[in-house]
Each structure stands twice: as C-alpha cells, then as structure tokens.
Amino acid sequence: MANIGRLIEVDVRELWRHEQYDFSNWLARPANLEYLNEILGLTLVDVDKEVYVGPYRCDLVAKDETSGITVIIENQLEGTNHDHLGKIITYASGLDAKVMVWIVREAKEEHRAAIEWLNNNTAGDINFFLIEIHAYKIGNSDPAPKFEVVEKPNDFVKRSKAKGGDDELNKSQSERLLFWEQFNQMIASRGKPFNIRKASTENWYDVAVGTSEAHVSINLINKDGKIVVLFYISNNKALFDRLYEQKDKIEQQLGFPVIWERLDNKKASVIKYAIDGLNFDDHSNYETLMNASIDTAVKMRDVFKQYL
C-alpha cells in the first residue's frame, strides 16, 4: 500500500514577508497569474504594479485580454480590515475597474458580508472577489499555495436586478448557461486546450490569442440554428487588411473557408465560420457541436496567432 501523507498548513508569512515586494511580485509572474485566472475565469495581461490612485497605491492592475476590462488586485497577508475595503472601492472608482480582487490571509465575517452585499447591490458589470491565500505541504515537500474563494459574483442575482427585479432567467438565458456549463466540462475533459471561462447567460465565449487587439469568440445564434466561431478584431482595420492579403494561405492553413467582414461602418472587424445544428430544444447533438466549436476555435487561434 502506498504511503499517504498528511497536509500541513504553512503560514503564508513564511513564504512572503511583504505584500508589495514579495507576494505581489510572485503573483505577477505568468505561471502564478494563470492560476489566479483559473479562479476568476479571466485572462489577465498587461499587469502593472503599485499604480497610484491619489495618494494611495493599488498593488496590481491588469486587463482582461478578451474583454479589455480593468481588473484590480489588492493583497493583504493578514486579516481583512476596513482600511483595505475602503481602498479597494477607491481604486475601483479611480481606475474605472470592473473586477475587484481582494486576496487575504483571513476573511473576517463582516468583510465577507460586505463583499456579498456589494455583489448583490451593484451594477451587473461590477464584480468583487474575496479570496483567501493558504499554503500547504506534505512532509518535507515544497509548500504549495492555494487560492480559496470566500465570496464571488452571483450572476443570477446581478442580472435579475439589472432587469428591474425579474427574478427568473428567461429560456434563452437558461439554455445558454446550460450550454456553457457543459461546454466547460468538455474543455476540461479535453485537457483544457484554452482557458476555461466562467459560464454565463451571454451568447458568447471568448478565447484569448495573445493580444488585447483581437480574440476568438464562440457565439450561440439559436434563432439561426448556428454556432458562429469568429476571429474578432477590436479596432484595427490595418490588421484586418494585412490578414486579408494572406486570405488564401490562411484558409488553407485553417482547412476550411471563412467569411471576411471588414465592417467599414464599425470599429470591429470579424472573420467567421458557422457550424449548423444548434437547437436549444434538442440537446442530442451538443457533444458534436461542442467538439466542433472547440476544434474550430483552437484552429483559428493557432493560425491567426502566426500573423499577429
């Protein structure tokens, strides 16, 4: 019978003496930020440390690669307190952030309740996370950090309030949420070919390609019976034109033709491919549709990244 060890918790202050110089620097490293991304369902890039907001300094400020929203991270290797809660709100206002992440050693009940209240009573695009950081080891092993979510946004509550008090999701929202939940399970079963994003009631699911100027998006268009996978260019007609010059080569690499839409009357441009067969009233082909969507998204990501 194999030997079975016992988890021993390690004081995080033994790993990081100082939030600013030790923990923030550790968290800003790509591998560690990726771990946090898994918790948040985001893809954080362009990380800045010690960003001034008036006389105060926010520990970390980043962008979500696919949505472009600002995310602030405040670290506190001790128990939560009113001072840091106030600073987080100040940073959110000063930096126009949409996601606020408070990482602490211990979340006190009054501050857990405060974050829950903020998530339930602020606008639908404002999100607060309260996360405890712990560390464990087995025997003489290296200590392993672990993020433990204490409070996170409740999409159901926030969306209900945004719609004027309607406390139930409509059928389309419910079906989209169900689809993305199953979609995430499929991504996990395939070894996570791209980051898993939090399931929502939206009709799109974004996949990062390594730049904030573009991303791959999987879109559920139930009224047309299609899943549309597209390469979305936010605001760069020159990039679209440069890609279009390589149209034949790109489509050959993709292995399928795509529709090129420059959209001259809009900031964005798209390059898209449609997968037929979506029907929210019939889930029998969901596995096939999901696999096809993942395959197409991965192919688009890998091919277009070569030209960025």
Q: Where are the domains of the chain?
A: 7-161, 171-305
Q: State mean pLDDT over 95-111.
A: 94
Encoding tokens for residue 186? 């499929």
Closest CA to 297 of 199, 225, 196: 196
**Options 2.60.40, 3.40.50, 3.30.1460, 1.20.1530; CATH of 171-305:** 3.30.1460
Write the single-letter amino acid at 266: K
Q: What is the pLDDT of residues 215-229, one digit of tens each?
A: 999 999 999 999 999
Q: State mean pLDDT over 182-210.
A: 89
Whether 253 and 266 have beta carbons less than 8 Å apart is answered as: no
Q: What per-residue confidence (pLDDT) applies to 161?
A: 44
Fold of 7-161: Trna Endonuclease; Chain: A, domain 1 (3.40.1350)
Q: What per-residue confidence (pLDDT) applies to 210?
A: 80
Is 282 a residue whose pLDDT tops 60?
A: yes
Task: Identify the residue with better confidence: 2 or 304.
Answer: 304
Distance of alpha carbon 26 from alpha carbon 45, whole angstroms: 15
Q: Where are the alpha helices (DSSP H) in 66-193?
A: 82-95, 109-121, 155-162, 171-189
Q: What per-residue confidence (pLDDT) applies to 39?
A: 82
Write the single-letter amino acid at 170: N
Rounded to 5 degrees, what are φ and ψ at 207? -125, 125
C-alpha 180: how far from chain center:
14
Task: Identify the residue with better confidence: 180 or 212.
Answer: 180
Is 48 a residue whose pLDDT tops 60?
A: yes
Confidence band for 234, pLDDT divided at 50, 70 and 90: confident
Q: What is the pLDDT of residues 18-42, one digit of tens each?
A: 877 789 999 998 888 888 988 888 8
pTM for this predicted structure: 0.61
Q: What per-residue confidence (pLDDT) applies to 164?
A: 42
Confidence band for 68, pLDDT divided at 50, 70 and 90: confident
Q: What percent of the chain has pLDDT over 90?
A: 62
